Chain A
Amino acid sequence: MAELATDNLGTQGAARGGFGAWLLDPKRRGALLVTPAITILFVMNIFPLMWSFGLSFFNYKASSPRVPSFRGLSNYERVLTDDKTWERFQTTAVIVGSSVLLQLIVGFLLALMFAKAFPLRRIVLMLVLTPMMLSFVSVGVFFKLFYEPTFGIVSYVMNLFTTEKFVMLGSPAGAIAGIVIADAWMWSPFVMLLVLAGLVSVPKYLYEAAEIDRASSWRTFWTITFPYIKSLLLLAILFRTIETFKLFDIVYIITEGGPGSSTETIAVFLYRNAFQFFQTSRSAALAYIVLFIVIVLTNLYLYAVNRRAQEAN
């Protein structure tokens, strides 16, 4: 009915003639409605992307008034042949791998716990979800203080057993562990939510049937539960890998990339190049390399998800 009325308006307008009538013609109305969204998308996203992509082929420094000159692929070559870049990628890979694995384990265990009813379940669930609602800065500051060896709670607890102050961030391995724990604390609830959605979708009669068949717990999990949650687990891995790959705030606040550069992720390295050293073009090239890697990872996951979906069908 509403559509008819609008069409009538357009027809009446067209009958009256003029630009307004031409614009409101039903043939153009769809394009007219999406134009503001596309304009905003172009101005805020597409144009800056194209602009920074263009910059990556010049020798532009944002802090310098010098007119930039075209350098072709030299920024990409320089970034890819720089040992520091590969060290940062390695560090990022270690943090991503450890953190996502820990999030999956903790998130999965939490989901198993919350899949069953117990007293105060809703309140505990709400508390467990709190970390992912906090800002990165807050979480970074919390954990920096937790790890502080003179008065931090981690050192205090360890001191009860060892009589020594526990200096967690004093070694590369300890600092990476500190970042992984903080990130996993924040994002395990996200994994839990996804897995929990899968768990509650499993029909109860399947478990009843398994019980009648006297299937073992592992058999029940592997043949009934896991098929329902595996696509959601893949989704969790995809989201968390992409997000952790870009990890910046927590690292910058807890360790600033130290000791030395042992926890400097590719995102922190990129930030330093872009906004501290003002290597604008070089950092744009690095940003596009990172973007390319994220796109490849995403497609690998999507390929896996689609393949499983086809197998299921």
Chain B
Amino acid sequence: MKTRNVLSGLMGATVLAAGLGATPALSADITITMAAPDWPPTRFMKEHFDQTYQSPDGNNTTLDMDFIPWPSFYERVAASLTSGEQKYQMIVTDSQWLGAFVEGGYYLNLTDKIKEDPELQAIMQDLHPALVSAYSTYPHKTRAQLEAMGPAPAEGVNYYGFPQFPDTYVTFYREDIFCNEGEMAAFQAKYGTNLPCTYEDWQDTDWQKWGQIGEFFQRSAGEMLAGETLADDFYGIAYQAGKGYDFSTMAINAFIWQQGGDIWDESKMPDAQAEGVVNSDVAVAAFEEYLSYLQYMPPVAQTGQMDIFVIQDLYMQGKVGAIIDWVGLGEPVLDPSASTVSDKSAFGPAPGTRKADGSIDRTGNIGGQPFVLTTWNSDEVVNEALNVVKWWLSPDTQLAATANGGQSGLMSVMAMPEYNGLRPWNRAHVEMIDWQKDVWHIPEFFELLTQQQEEFDKAITGQISAKDALDAVAEFQQELLEDIGFIE
């Protein structure tokens, strides 16, 4: 009896001590250093985190963002990871890098964490399947494969990332000239079809009309545009045609996919081939169509340097009527201190290829970035980083991010009635996200991409034909992928 009392007393004291000391004993000072590209969506994340984040575990958490300029982002992250400095606990990463850095042992496999956590499961199931496919799975699973496997986390699938900023490309256009009555009448008279003015008009715009717009608005200094005399040359259209990074692949893939062609399909390895697929007649025709519209674009297109930032800049200078660019680059366009067209811009879905039934296929290459966790984090840091993920992907945070130039990948958030009104491109983003596919995720993606960009660049600058370019790409990919055993 006496022993029992002593034991009961000890237990009571322990429980009391644990109860009183629970918060100080479990809470910890945690700093999460995140590698992030320096642009508005990540700047907002840091700002909003500092204002609103409360750790559900009672931790005193600091989000230390290492903002890195876009042009050197890959090199800086890669150098940090491979040097072994273990600086980052979280990384905003392009989806294409998953293979290289998962195989390198740097990105943490979150599959078990998701299986253990109903909140994370709910998030995964609410994310748009195109994003789960592109941003999270490695080895890569297509959207169709994931949908066949059932809700996330599906058996046999490895999950790594969550959307930090899900991006799509949309059309930015000058409402003042596209909705000018005189221009509309002239366009109608010349082409027998309407000049797209409203969002609904852009929903019915295919590449053929895109080319007509380019031809129609290509004007020299001194000519009239929407009732005003042009002080400088003006161009109708622009899209990506740059040698750097993926600045032509993203646009060309869209043409190829929309017309029924394909790139080398990693989800079907080792049976998927490069030769005969990458340079198929359909792919060549699609690439030729892409090239055919470059003549209507600003002359920088002829140098192979028309990247996403150049077209954004030319548009903001008022030198181009309509561009196709990422939503993530939309915010500066509306800033009067940076853009001459801030009060004249509107947004629509990107053009696509018209099918036999009259519908338009807008399949495109997904942009944006997921964020991932690194493998050297302690359990405590992993759990807190996942708390940050849950905070970021909560409806309130997602709405706030969207209102400040971000985008959401959560279907429940995108379906909210106020969503489309938060920013002028949101409706187009919601429409475009359903069309997204991704390029390769294998560790050798940079070799594939660089060689492809070089060959595309030769075609863009008129040195070789579309067929020669795709033949060279197919041959290189076949050889490389056979060498590493991805093609048998």
Give the dominant DSSP class at A's interface.
loop
* Min distance, Cβ B214 to any Cβ of chain A, angstroms: 15
Among residues of B, the one whose C-beta sits closest to the C-beta of A150 is: B298
Check: A257 CB closer than 8 A to any chain B CB.
yes
Residues in A with CB closer than 8 Å to B314 are 150
Q: Are B78 and A275 in contact (CB under 8 A)?
A: yes
* Min distance, Cβ A61 to any Cβ of chain B, angstroms: 9
Residues in A with CB closer than 8 Å to B464 are 260
* Min distance, Cβ A69 to any Cβ of chain B, angstroms: 16
Check: B303 CB closer than 8 A to any chain A CB.
yes
Contact partner, B243, options A62, A148, A257, Cβ 8 Å: A257
How far does the alpha carbon of A261 sit from the alpha carbon of B450 in the complex, in Å? 10
Query: Which residues of chain B from 442 to 462 have a CB within 8 Å of any chain A CB?
Result: 443-444, 446-447, 450, 454-455, 457-458, 460-462
Stretch of A9-17, A47-55, A169-177, A219-227 that contacts chain B: A169-177
Residues in A with CB closer than 8 Å to B101 are 63
Query: Which residues of chain A from 256 to 313 have a CB within 8 Å of any chain B CB?
Result: 256-262, 272, 275-278
How far does the alpha carbon of A175 sit from the alpha carbon of B303 in the complex, in Å? 9
How far does the alpha carbon of A255 sit from the alpha carbon of B103 in the complex, in Å? 32
Residues in A with CB closer than 8 Å to B300 are 148-150, 167
Q: Are A258 and B450 in contact (CB under 8 A)?
A: no
Given A63-B101, A258-B304, A277-B450 contact (CB < 8 Å): yes
Of residues B232, B314, B447, B455, which shows the largest number of chain A Cβ atoms within 10 Å of its Cβ? B447
Q: Are B78 and A63 in contact (CB under 8 A)?
A: yes
How far does the alpha carbon of A259 sit from the alpha carbon of B305 in the complex, in Å? 9
* Min distance, Cβ A153 to any Cβ of chain B, angstroms: 14
Q: Mark A155-167, 1 if CB is under 8 A from B, else 0.
A: 1000000000101
Q: Mark A174-193, 1 if CB is under 8 A from B, else 0.
A: 01000000000000000000
Residues in B with CB closer than 8 Å to A169 are 303-305
Q: Are A277 and B446 in contact (CB under 8 A)?
A: yes
Contact partner, B302, options A62, A64, A167, A257, Cβ 8 Å: A167
Among residues of B, the one whose C-beta sits closest to the C-beta of A155 is: B299
Q: List 23 A-B contacts (CB under 8 A).
A: A63-B78, A63-B443, A64-B103, A64-B104, A149-B302, A150-B298, A151-B317, A155-B299, A169-B305, A175-B303, A256-B243, A257-B243, A257-B454, A258-B454, A258-B457, A259-B243, A259-B303, A259-B457, A259-B460, A260-B455, A261-B454, A276-B446, A278-B78
Residues on B facing A (Cβ under 8 Å): 74-75, 78-79, 81-82, 100-101, 103-105, 232-233, 243-244, 298-300, 302-305, 314, 317, 319, 443-444, 446-447, 450, 454-455, 457-458, 460-464
11 additional contacts (CB under 8 A) given A257-B243, A277-B446: A62-B82, A148-B300, A155-B299, A170-B304, A170-B462, A255-B243, A258-B303, A259-B457, A260-B455, A261-B454, A278-B82
